Structure 1
Amino acid sequence: MTAARSIVGGMNETETHVLIAGAGPAGLTLACDLARRGVDFRIVEREQLTGSRGKGLQPRTLEVFDDLGVVDAVLASGAPYPLINAYKNGSVVWQGRMHEPAEPTPDVPYPNVWMVPQWRTEEILRNRLAELGGRVEQAEVTGFEQDTDGVTVELDGGRRVRAAYLVGADGGRSLVRKRLGVRFDGETHEAERMLIADVRTGDLDRGHWHVWGDMATQKLTVGLCPLPGTDVFQLTAPIEGEETPDLSLETFQKIVSSVADVRLTDIGWTSVYRVNIRMAERFRADRVFLAGDAAHVHSPAGGQGLNTGIQDAYNLGWKLARGGDTLLGTYEEERLPVAAGVLGISTRLYRKAVEGQADAFRRGEETQQLGIGYPDSPLSVGGGKAGGRAPDAPCHSADGRPARLFDVFRGPHVTVLGFGATHAETVARINASYGPAVRAYTVGEGGDLVDTEGHARAAYGTDGIVVVRPDGYIGSYDADPDAYLRSIA
């Protein structure tokens, strides 16, 4: 899948269907999705970054990772967000949670935000990519030109790659976006900066997120959050002024010592974060696409940036695999308004924190991304639940084995669900006509999937036929399934 072949007429040119610039969470998600679909691609990254960085995985992202086959590794590597201890004069003056824990339900198997250091999330995705036969190449995109037939991409060292499509997943400073001339509208708050570092200390318990500040105004001075699966805390501390301090252990120790008798013993990754709230004016220019931070950057409030980038890649992967300009055009049509909405959520949460509102630390359903959908998309037909997330539900196979709907969705195919025995003939015909790219099931008593406790019927609310897209959204609801399947072929 990552192999390339020579093109006649250029010794330094190679050919691939998709070139992905950037191997962060968005680029790696896209690479894994293309790899399992058997699409020829290459993914390049100048250098592998380290550090905890974006550490919160939202419930919808966990569902994507279930589909990609990595959710078990992700869950094993992380933990729920810990209880927050807020201190004043050495005593705990407030305890609370950023997210209230919830129990799984039949339709939402992963209801809680999961904390995983970003370096570990990327490591899991790289390992999955290797299992699928792919790898990340150490290279940097330095330029590109596109024409009606493809994109000629220049890499460092004078190498050139000829690709049908280029995806810029190369971060907030995206060279791909800049070379396209796409505006990155928004604002950067230069005066609102945060020091972030991965540090070690033996003076704090790892069962709590420790914070110091003014609880009356919700102003943070220092935060130390234990990162699961490690002996590291992520330290956060706002700084004032325009000068950047020396990012040394001594600097961070001085900051911590100003509020607590805590000794730092080691420091790893460090960063100065400037609040940047921007979105590209468009996510596609002919054969070039933008995803992740290259398309939108968020404040850290609400843990939306990394997760939204993963959703971009998940939306784009199956469309690149199937091809067709109309289908590819729906990427921007679907994802741009979603990114704008999510950007609004994270910005509102950030302003709450800056203004010291009482509920600034609290997060609810709006950040979990389970309610995101595409009801106005041309790929959503039939009304009702079309365009919404396809819920999970526990069922049984005809021979009595447990089988969740997420089990039958898992993979690169389109799924057709016929609720009731009256659809048996249609389901059989679809299975015979469309090959492995489409899998159809009857759901109900005596069906392929026995709706043992009625959860599937309750979640979908129909006795008709539902078509579920490869990215887990309802495409067709009580409409002609054949017409829909032909439209996305």
Structure 2
Amino acid sequence: MTQEFASDVLISGAGAAGLTLAIDLARRGISFRLIEKLGAPFHGSRGKGIQPRTQEIFEDLGILDRLAATGGPYPRQREHRPDGSFVDSDMVTAAAPTPAEPYLTPLMVPQFLTEGVMRERLRELGHQVEYGCELIGITQDGDGVTARLSHHGREATIRVRYLVGADGGRSLVRHALDTGFPGKTLGVRAVVADLELTGLERDAWHRFHDGSMERQVALCPLAGTKLFQLQAPVPLEGDVDLSAEGLSKMVAERTGRDDIGIHSVVWASAYSMNARLADRYRVGRVFLVGDAAHIHPPTGGQGLNTSVQDSYNLGWKLAAVIAGAPAPLLDSYEDERRPIAADMLGLSAKLLEAGKRGEMRRGREVQQLDLGYPCSALALERPERHGGLLAGDRAPDARLRGAAGQARRLFQLFQGPHWTLLGHDVDRDLVPARRGLHIHGTGPRGDLRDDAGELQKNYSLDAGDWVLVRPDGYVGAIVASRELHTLESYLRSVGLT
């Protein structure tokens, strides 16, 4: 008997993770609902850094330029000394972009502005968030998920093929799945607040008493706004006055200055830092993404970025299976993303300890450009490669020229919901065209010219080699022409028949 589904996918939670998944599904033509129990968008800057790898994702989703125009670069760090002097330094290790890595510095965009741009993109694709709609219960079987919703006091039940919990650290979805969330409390409690203030220049991230957990306070101008973000450790127990008066007193005591005036508090929170990782990212037809799957200290600016990348990994796989790809493709989501989160928790905890000592610096390890899936079941090499670009690696960018003479970038060719197959000095007719796969050739017989040698430098291809790039910008397969039968099997396994 044919079942009636209200939508293919229900996404619970409309933060950055939920919005990323919604945008990706929308551009793939997958039906979904995106619900959020809050009555209106979140208006705080809990996360503000967009790392280089996430910038590449946002370029693919069509919003990077808007975000860059909305926010701006990180300011220099200004460490104020007790005698009134200060020293400026770069918190972020400076590096010039390269053809392979076009974005190498983080972008500062307060979370509420980032999500605003994402909602705008979602509306362009014909969808919007359903606010004030709360998931209150789920059951599932082998064919689908039954979800109970409460919307403005009225309950309803809907049937969907898949459910994705993007509902934060206190995830109802994770609790309903009875999935463990082991980890530890890190012994640090902190205040974060968005403020209107006077008395500080906006050209620096002001830090006072770095290395002292009793007196440390940081005040960072939030790009794209007139606000500053306050960050400060506070005692593990006791109430914290989060009013303008209370935070003014804290700032005066910790800075020793009476010229910094806090005029209003737009948003504030006192929270204890934890590092936790869900035992499972998937139970049947239900998945966890973002903070529902992992929480950690904010050090290193990894949280929003890891959450976005969870959804970017899951979106194309859900769409492929809904369209008829073999169901085991969905197993690769947890296999690929959970180890990434485990490593990220360790990095964030390490940076937290450095921050306690006043040694906070952010290098390449936070950019997420070196993350990949070399051990994934979706990584194929025939023959096996030793060195250079490998299956599972992030696919580098490169500047090329089209056969008609115009400039091209690989990232422009990758952009969109399709797979991309690059053949170097190959016979194009060896791989038949099919829906969802864009094929390009380089070399004398191809539609692309590698005049500057950037593709060859970054991909290290021999004549007759083929590189298959996944919809999420990672190398799925590298095969020689004599091994094309293995590529055909791979294409069938991901639904490209």
TM-score by shorter chain over 0.5: yes
The Cα shift of 1:351 comes to 2.0
What does the per-residue CA deviation read over 1:335-378, in whole Å, with 9 as the maximum and x for residues that have no partner? 11111111111111112223x1x6x3111111111111011111
Tell me, in whole angstroms, the C-alpha distance in 2 between the residues paired with 1:44 and 1:345.
32
With the length of structure 2 as denominator, give the TM-score of the two structures.
Answer: 0.91
Among 8, 13, 18, which residue is 2:9 paired with?
18
State the one-letter code of the partner of 1:469. R
What does the per-residue CA deviation read over 1:142-180, in whole Å, with 9 as the maximum and x for residues that have no partner? 010001110000111211111100000000000000010
Contact 1:212 1:222 in 2 (8 A): yes
The Cα shift of 1:483 comes to 2.3
Tell me, in whole angstroms, the C-alpha distance in 2 between the residues paired with 1:214 and 1:269.
24
What does residue 289 of structure 2 align with?
291
Matched, 1:469 2:467: no
Matched, 1:37 2:28: yes
* Matches for 1:385-404 after TM superposition, within 5 Å: 385-404=390-409
The Cα shift of 1:214 comes to 4.4
Matched, 1:152 2:146: yes
Tell me, in whole angstroms, the C-alpha distance in 2 between the residues paired with 1:445 and 1:55.
46
Tell me, in whole angstroms, the C-alpha distance in 1 between the residues paired with 2:330 and 2:76.
43
Tell me, in whole angstroms, the C-alpha distance in 2 between the residues paired with 1:53 and 1:92.
30
Q: May I ask how many residue pairs the two structures share in their alignment?
A: 468
What does residue 160 of structure 2 align with?
163
* Matches for 1:295-310 after TM superposition, within 5 Å: 295-310=293-308
Among 232, 239, 245, which residue is 2:234 paired with?
239
The Cα shift of 1:77 comes to 1.4
Matched, 1:425 2:429: yes
- Secondary structure class of the residue paired with 2:273: strand
The Cα shift of 1:446 comes to 4.8
Tell me, in whole angstroms, the C-alpha distance in 1 between the residues paired with 2:237 and 2:344.
29
Among 213, 236, 241, which residue is 2:209 paired with?
213
What does the per-residue CA deviation read over 1:314-352, in whole Å, with 9 as the maximum and x for residues that have no partner? 000000001132100110111111111111111111122
Tell me, in whole angstroms, the C-alpha distance in 2 between the residues paired with 1:95 and 1:347.
25
- Secondary structure class of the residue paired with 2:432: helix
Aligned-pair identity in percent equals 47
With the length of structure 1 as denominator, give the TM-score of the two structures.
Answer: 0.93
What does the per-residue CA deviation read over 1:433-474, in whole Å, with 9 as the maximum and x for residues that have no partner? x12x00000023452111120101111111210000000000
Tell me, in whole angstroms, the C-alpha distance in 2 between the residues paired with 1:445 and 1:403.
17
Structure 1 residue ranges (4+ consecutive) displaced by more than 4 angstroms after TM superposition: 217-220
Tell me, in whole angstroms, the C-alpha distance in 1 between the residues paired with 2:3 and 2:478.
45
State the one-letter code of the partner of 2:292. A
Contact 2:10 2:163 in 1 (8 A): yes
The Cα shift of 1:88 comes to 2.1
What does the per-residue CA deviation read over 1:32-88, in whole Å, with 9 as the maximum and x for residues that have no partner? 000000001111001121111100111000000011001111111122211111112
* Matches for 1:56-455 after TM superposition, within 5 Å: 56-89=49-82, 91-138=84-131, 139-156=133-150, 157-189=154-186, 191-214=187-210, 221-258=216-253, 259=255, 260-261=257-258, 262-323=260-321, 324-354=326-356, 356=357, 360-382=359-381, 383-384=384-385, 385-420=390-425, 422-426=426-430, 429-431=431-433, 434-435=434-435, 437-455=436-454
State the one-letter code of the partner of 2:419. V
Tell me, in whole angstroms, the C-alpha distance in 1 between the residues paired with 2:443 and 2:348.
41
Tell me, in whole angstroms, the C-alpha distance in 2 between the residues paired with 1:79 and 1:219.
31
Q: CA, structure 1 residues 283+349, in 2 after alignment: closer, same or farther (shift >3 Å)?
A: same
Contact 1:398 1:446 in 2 (8 A): no
What does residue 3 of structure 1 align with?
none
The Cα shift of 1:407 comes to 0.2
Tell me, in whole angstroms, the C-alpha distance in 2 between the residues paired with 1:395 and 1:340.
37
